[in-house]
Structure 1
Amino acid sequence: MGKVQSSEELMKYINEMNSDNSVVQFSIPGKGKFTLVLQEEDEQSIKSDVEKNPQLERMFKESEEQYKKGLGISTADLLKSFSEKDFM
Structure 2
Amino acid sequence: MNKVLSLEELVKYIDDIDRENSVVQFSIPGKGRFTIVLQEEDEQSIYADVNKNPQLELMFKESEEQYRKGLGMTTSDLLKSLKDKDFK
TM-score between both structures, scaled by the size of structure 2: 0.72
Count of aligned positions: 88
Percent of pairs identical after alignment? 73
User: For residues 41 and 34 of structure 1, what CA distance do their matches in structure 2 show?
Assistant: 21
Q: 1:7 to 1:60 in 2, by over 3 A?
A: same
Q: Does 1:37 align with 2:37?
A: yes
Q: 1:66 to 1:28 in 2, by over 3 A?
A: closer
Q: Does 1:57 align with 2:57?
A: yes
- Root-mean-square deviation over aligned CA pairs: 2.4
Aligned residue runs from structure 1 range 1-88, under 5 A: 2-29=2-29, 34-88=34-88
Q: Secondary structure at the match of 2:41?
A: coil
User: For residues 4 and 32 of structure 2, what CA distance do their matches in structure 1 show?
Assistant: 10
Residues 19-64 of structure 1: CA deviation (Å, up to 9, x unaligned): 1221234443455665433222233222111112222112212211
**Where in structure 2 are there 5+ consecutive unaligned residues?**
none
